[in-house]
Structure 1
């Protein structure tokens, strides 16, 4: 990565992921008569990655996620020197996306941040299904690891050409279908950081888990694919 355009691509891609995914939860899922439900939110997250992977994947690789960047490094696909700038721009994009959701949500009469939230991640009392810290940790590690396996495999030079964004987008949809009740689904520290920074309190206090677990899972998935499944 020797081009600032790659960093801008990561910023805009992560912005779109947070704005589209968290925005669907805040704007659309809350209305009984119009609500898309958690299945719709799951699909929205998958569609954000699918669309941006096609739009800017050829510029930056289409990570939009610090755990993916670390996982691709562990899998031998990304240089260590470029991890930090990618992560910085991903986090900036995620924070800007969350602020965009907040600004639009405040345009609804009676909307309240404390009551409605911004689709922040959490465990224990802040888990949608009241799952424990340990359950959330295991789920985030496992799901991020398998996400990296899918990314590594679908982008391999011997994989079908042009199909990777579809596989990756559907994988993220499936991940959300599994884990929205557990942690509200992170598998992406940048996605978790924006809402947590804005909401503060326990959302911010629990943010450490949604950095630690996805980074471990991403590195594990990349390493497993490279060493146990398929060498490039």
Structure 2
């Protein structure tokens, strides 16, 4: 009986050490794909609302001490200047919930050195996000950005009204977190500029092309 008790205590200690190690690793996380969106399609409540989603999910995962920013660009409108996604996410490096480095710098993130794939673009919980071939496919991630992380010019909507629309009007640029699409062209393999949403900005419109209104979140500090 005494030996059994010692074994149980040792097992409990090992589990505690493993849990503590997991929490420590999550605290070092500086990048994730959201496990959920706003539930209102591309209406995120603007940039502030999108950042709040990132911050809330990071907080729940134990990484709330950092300042989190959604990887989103906005278009110039109503006298407000455009915002580039690449300018609001800090300098890097960025690590996922498992400690894997996604990119060491803004330049690397937007170049061939980026290590952003289905296996590394994990949620704040360290989980893999469904991609092409999975049911449901959720590889379309909202970015509203060009391939270099800059904003689109004013005019045709590429951001669902700067993330305030959830109806049949407008469109938003999407990226494929799994770097996989209908063919082998660069857009199909782009993590931040694959194609526009079709049929508007609603949750159903995003779902129809393989999305769920998810975001990329980066720690800016």
| TM-score for both structures, normalised by structure 2 | 0.34
Normalised by the length of structure 1, the TM-score is 0.33
Greater RCO, 1 or 2 (C-alpha within 8 Å, sep 6+): 1
Which structure's residues are more often helix, by fraction? 1
By percentage of residues, which structure has more strand?
A: 2
